[in-house]
Amino acid sequence: MAKNIKKSKGKKEERVSNIPASNANKAGDGVLIYKEGMTVGEVATGLNAPVAKVVMKLMGLGVMANQNQTVDRETIELLAMEFGYEIKDEVVTDATRFDEFKIEDDEKDLISRPAVVTIMGHVDHGKTTLLDHIRNSRVTAGEAGGITQHIGAYQVEEKGRKITFIDTPGHAAFTEMRARGAQVTDIVVLVVAADDGVMPQTKEAIEHARAAKCPIIVAVNKIDKPTANKARVMEELTHEGIIPSEWGGDTTFVEISALKGLGVDNLLDMINLQAEIMDLKANPNRLATGSVIEAQLDRGKGPVATFIVQNGTLKVGDYVVVGDTYGRVRSMEDDRHVKYNDAEPSMAVQVTGLEEVPFAGDKFMALSDERTARQIADERKTKSKDALNSAVQAVSLEDLFADKDSDKELNLIVKGDVQGSVEALRSSLEQLNVETIKLNLIRCSVGAITDTDVTLAAASRAIIIGFNVRPTAQVRQSAEAQGVEIRLYNIIYKLLEDIEAAMNGLLDPEYEEVVTGQCEIREVFKISKVGSIAGCYVSNGVVQRESLCRVIRDGIVVYEGKLASLRRFKDDVKSVKEGFECGLQIENFNDIKEGDIIETSIMKEIKR
Ligand code: GDP
């Protein structure tokens, strides 16, 4: 394979580093660097103005704040305007937060890069057939078609333009990567079988694509089948808000048969057209950054990961930090075992030379020296360990009930047996609306409850909900060890009821006073050491032992307090009804008189 190695041009290192200069936040003339949680004092310093003047201006804007108080961004923007300043966001310069770096290239350094495409759609609608057909019928020019390996992505060339397809099956992978901050897809191809129409996973795919703000191209597949009905697919997708361009909307529909290869050229043309509209660009002359699509431990090669280069050029010999680990790129090859020395933007390559196996969705960044790479990885590892340790606190629905001061968020991981029930749960849970509590569905997917779920739950203080699925004994143990609660259900409404109750419990309870009854004092018995006992007649409602009470004399409330005792004859009782007599005492109050009215009430929690 050595002759296949693509030689780098032997230029001397010209690639720019991705770590922003430490002076990136130096404010120039008339520029205020905005950081979250800025105090008035800090804003004043940034604006080069006396605090008093800033406080005055704030008053003018109707905001009363002293120099140690924080102000929101909008207010700071107004202030900056008043002082003739422009505001700029703080640039993250801390290399241990490299995954938050925002890289901005000069327009002149940018060149077009291939589109990165993910194929999504309902099961059996033909995603795999389409991916295989595209791969097998188009080989990047000049390369022999070797035996392919599964590396999670491949690149093809169509009419001189390259396209990268991500081959990770399933929407869960797509969402999970996004959840981890790795937005790698530019365009989503939504495969819909013309003989089946819009199905639950079709809708799910649309949601995911929308959430990722990816344009969708619809591939109406299986058009070779006699039962194919393109019009029906178009019609059904309209209900999902996807309007075909031929009906005046903005979504391209292409008819294909992935099995027979019909219309696939046209689909690729449409992808290229969309890519052109999107004007996708990158700067090949910087050290690479990108994301991990897949990773595993290979018995022969050690940790291997498929990287998608999103900006810059990755070279063999580069040092990289990736997730919480690091390494030096030893080799790079594509899905056909073609080896590369350089991987340019939008290329997907399997990389060897890492110290440990990273996770799908981890970001990577190339660096010019090993020491920095190792340092960053070490620091990140320590940070994640700390975060995990502090997150391992017992979480259970009851805890949340009790913990009124918790941060008003309920994190859930939902696992269900079939797509249908998971979808139903997702939408029902999303509709649960309890004022100030935020319900976060961290993961909502089909499948058994696994160790990964437990780890994620521990890290995010989430509760795991299993619907018609059960954890293995080993997973159960690990959940116990990490203090993660797993709740199992087989009835949707029961599950919803419990969650809603927990959410209600999370709210600070609100009470209102409810008057329960009234009684008249007919006689007062003064007993030494015990105090005054009122002999009463309950004139309406019911008098309860655990009551608040008001003593009313001639229409005026003379005392408010609590009952100390309630008796009928010699017995302590819980309540006495209208029309009966009783004896009672009032806590810390003996100055009762015949003819006084005692009104009793209880504090009742209001259901929201
Ligand atoms: P996936 O679950 O979306 O990946 O679907 P597959 O690619 O596995 O396809 C499911 C079934 O549909 C397979 O039996 C395919 O052979 C068949 N299939 C896929 N595309 C076409 C097509 O264009 N025409 C016909 N007739 N069958 C197709």
pLDDT tens profile 38-81: 889 999 998 988 989 998 888 888 888 888 888 888 889 988 99
Mutate to test the pocket of ligand 1, among 136, 259, 264, 267 (most ligand atoms within 8 A of CB): 259
Q: What angle do CA 412, 415, 416 make, to 5 degrees?
A: 135
**Counting atoms of ligand 1 from 1, which one is nearest the CA of 221?**
23
Q: Is residue 574 part of a domain?
A: yes
User: Which CATH number goes with the domain that contains 149?
Assistant: 3.40.50.300
Q: Is the CB of 127 under 6 A from ligand 1?
A: yes
| Whether residue 224 has its Cβ less than 6 Å from ligand 1 | yes
| Banded pLDDT at 383 (limits 50, 70, 90) | confident
Which position has the higher pLDDT, 8 or 300?
300
221 Cβ below 6 A of ligand 1: yes
If you measure from the C-alpha of residue 217 to the centroid of ligand 1, how many angstroms do you get, rounded to a whole number? 18
Beta strands in 421-530 (DSSP E): 438-446, 462-467, 486-489, 511-527
Alpha helices by DSSP H, listed for 280-323, are none
pLDDT of residue 3: 41
Q: Is 128 in the pocket of ligand 1 (CB under 6 A)?
A: yes
Q: What is the pLDDT of residues 8-37, one digit of tens each?
A: 444 556 788 888 777 767 766 788 888 878
Same domain, 236 and 124: yes
Q: How far is CA 365 from the centre of its chain?
A: 23
**Rounded CA gap, 458 and 494, in Å?**
24
How many residues in total does the chain contain? 608
Alpha carbon 378 to its chain centroid, in Å, reads: 26
Alpha-carbon span 245 to 172, nearest angstrom: 29
Would the CB of 259 count as within 6 Å of ligand 1?
Answer: yes
Give CA–CA dist 583/535, Å, rounded: 5
Pick the last residue of a domain from 465, 481, 508.
508
What mean pLDDT is reported for the chain?
84
**Residue 126 Cα to ligand 1 middle (Å):** 4
Listed range (12-26, 248-262, 339-353) with the worst mean pLDDT: 12-26
Domain extent, residue 118, equals 114-279
Domain match, 151 and 274 both? yes
- For residue 124, report the distance from its CA to the centre of ligand 1, in Å: 6
Q: What distance in angstroms lies between residue 108's CA and the mean position of ligand 1's atoms?
A: 44
pLDDT at residue 141 is higher than 50:
no
Answer whether residue 106 is part of any domain: no
Cβ pair 190, 174 in contact under 8 A: no
pLDDT of 212 strictly over 70: yes
CB 372 within 8 A of CB 365: no
> Last residue of a domain, which of 380, 399, 414?
380
- 480, part of any domain: yes
pLDDT at residue 401, as a whole number:
53
Above 70 in pLDDT, residue 595?
yes
Most confident among 97-106, 166-175, 324-333, 383-392 (mean pLDDT): 324-333
Confidence of residue 449 (pLDDT cuts 50, 70, 90): confident
Q: Atom 24, ligand 1: which residue's CA is nearest?
A: 222
Residues 119-143, mean pLDDT to the nearest whole number: 82
Atom of ligand 1 minimally distant from the CA of 257: 23
CB neighbours of 227 closer than 8 A, spacing ≥ 6? 194, 195
Confidence of residue 321 (pLDDT cuts 50, 70, 90): very high
* Ligand 1 pocket check for 125: Cβ under 6 Å: yes
Closest CA to 355 of 304, 397, 317: 304
Q: Answer whether residue 343 shows pLDDT above 80.
A: yes
pLDDT attached to residue 228: 94
Distance CA 154, CA 132 (A): 10
Least confident span in 153-162, 186-195, 266-275:
153-162
Q: Is ligand 1 within 6 A of the CB of residue 195?
A: no
Q: Ligand 1, closest atom to CA 132?
A: 7
Same domain, 199 and 294: no
What is the pLDDT at residue 447? Answer: 78
Q: Is the model's pLDDT at 142 over the cut of 70? A: no
Residue of minimum CA distance from atom 2 in ligand 1 = 124
Determine whether the shortest distance from the Cβ of 461 to ligand 1 is under 6 A.
Answer: no
Do 575 and 596 fall within a single domain? yes
Would you say 375 and 302 are in contact if contact means Cβ atoms under 8 Å apart? no
pLDDT confidence of residue 143: 52
CATH code of the domain covering residue 428:
3.40.50.10050
Expressed in angstroms and rounded, the spacing between residue 313 Cα and the centre of ligand 1 is 36
Flag the least confident range among 5-9, 235-239, 371-375. Answer: 5-9
Evaluate if residue 158 carries a pLDDT over 80.
yes
Reduce the DSSP state of residue 388 to 3 states and report it: helix
Q: Is the pLDDT of residue 396 over 60?
A: no
3-state secondary structure of 102: coil
Q: Tell me, what's the pLDDT at 155? A: 92
**Using CB atoms within 10 A of its CB, is residue 541 exposed (0-12), middle (13-18) or buried (19+)?**
middle
Our count of domains for the chain comes to 5
Instruction: Please state the atom number of ligand 1 nearest to the C-alpha of residue 169.
Output: 4
How many angstroms is it from 417 CA to the middle of ligand 1? 24
Helices (H), 304-437: 370-391, 397-402, 419-431
Residue identifier of the C-alpha nearest atom 22 of ligand 1: 222
Alpha-carbon span 608 to 376, nearest angstrom: 48
258 Cβ closer than 6 Å to some ligand 1 atom: yes
CA distance 605 to 608: 9
Please give the number of the atom of ligand 1 that sits closest to the Cα of 130.
7
Is 124 a pocket residue for ligand 1 (Cβ < 6 Å)? Answer: yes
Helix (H) or strand (E) holding 2: none
Instruction: State residue 7's pLDDT score.
Output: 47
Widest Cα–Cα separation across the chain: 112
**How many angstroms is it from 38 CA to the middle of ligand 1?**
56
Question: Of 113 and 430, which is predicted with more confidence?
Answer: 113
The SS3 call for residue 527 is strand
- Which pLDDT belongs to residue 1? 39
Instruction: Choose the weakest-confidence range: 361-375, 426-440, 465-479.
Output: 426-440
Lowest mean pLDDT among 48-52, 106-110, 216-220, 508-512: 508-512
The answer to whether position 109 is within a domain reads no
Question: Considering the chain, what percentage of its residues have pLDDT values greater than 70?
Answer: 88
Distance 222 CA to ligand 1 centre (A): 7
Residue 399 above 70 pLDDT? Answer: no
CB 315 within 8 A of CB 116: no
Q: Measured on CA atoms in the order 589, 590, 596, 601, is the torsion positive or negative?
A: positive
Check pocket membership of 281 for ligand 1, CB cut-off 6 A: no
**Do residues 219 and 189 lie in contact, with contact meaning Cβ atoms separated by under 8 Å?**
yes
Q: Do the domain assignments include residue 329?
A: yes
- The token duo for 164 is 């990268």
What contacts 259, CB < 8 A, 6 or more positions away?
Answer: 126, 129, 133, 222, 224
The verdict on 263 and 214 lying in the same domain is yes
Is 428 among the domain residues? yes
**Is the distance from CB of 432 to CB of 462 less than 8 angstroms?**
no
Tokens representing 70 are: 């924080």
Residues 431 and 363 both lie in one domain:
no
Please indicate whether residue 133, judged by its CB atom, sits closer than 6 Å to ligand 1: no
Burial bucket for residue 41 (CB in 10 Å: 0-12, 13-18, 19+): middle
Using the mean position of ligand 1's atoms as its centre, give its distance from the Cα of residue 121 in Å: 12
Q: Would you tell me how many other CB atoms lie within 10 Å of the CB of residue 247?
A: 11
Ligand 1 atom 25 nearest Cα: 222
Residues 266, 175, single domain; the answer is: yes
- Burial degree of 313 (CB within 10 A; 0-12, 13-18, 19+): buried
CA pair distance 97, 120, nearest whole angstrom:
31
Within a domain: 527: yes
Cβ of 257 less than 6 Å from ligand 1 = yes
Percent of the chain that is helix, strand, coil (3-state, to 5) = 30, 35, 35
- Distance from chain centroid for Cα 130: 31
Q: Tell whether ligand 1 has an atom less than 6 A from the beta carbon of residue 262.
A: no
Residues 347 and 411 in one domain: no
| CA 411 to ligand 1 centroid distance, Å | 37
What CATH number is attached to the domain comprising 563? 2.40.30.10
Distances (CA, A) of 398 to 431, 477, 481, 501, 505: 22, 20, 18, 10, 9
Do residue 160 and residue 244 come from a single domain?
yes
Mean pLDDT of 318-338: 93
Domain stop point among 449, 473, 508: 508
| CA distance readout (Å), 284 to 182, 344, 401, 449 | 20, 6, 54, 42
Give me ligand 1 centre to Cα 148, in Å.
Answer: 20
> CB under 8 Å to 179, separation ≥6 — which residues?
361, 442
Please check whether residues 375 and 303 belong to one and the same domain.
Answer: yes
If you measure from the C-alpha of residue 125 to the centroid of ligand 1, how many angstroms do you get, rounded to a whole number? 6
Among 123, 124, 264, residue to substitute to test ligand 1 (most atoms within 8 Å of Cβ) = 124
> CB of 582 within 8 A of CB of 576?
yes
Are 469 and 342 contained in the same domain? no
Q: Higher model confidence: residue 326 or residue 499? A: 326
Q: Which atom, in ligand 1's list, is nearest to the CA of 260?
A: 23
Q: Is residue 105 part of a domain?
A: no
> Residue 304, SS3?
strand
CA distance 118 to 130: 11
Residue with the nearest Cα to atom 9 of ligand 1? 126
Q: Are strands 556-568 and 363-367 parallel, antiparallel or unpaired?
A: unpaired
φ, ψ of residue 416 to 5 degrees: the values are: -135, 170
Q: Are residues 523 and 500 in the same domain?
A: no
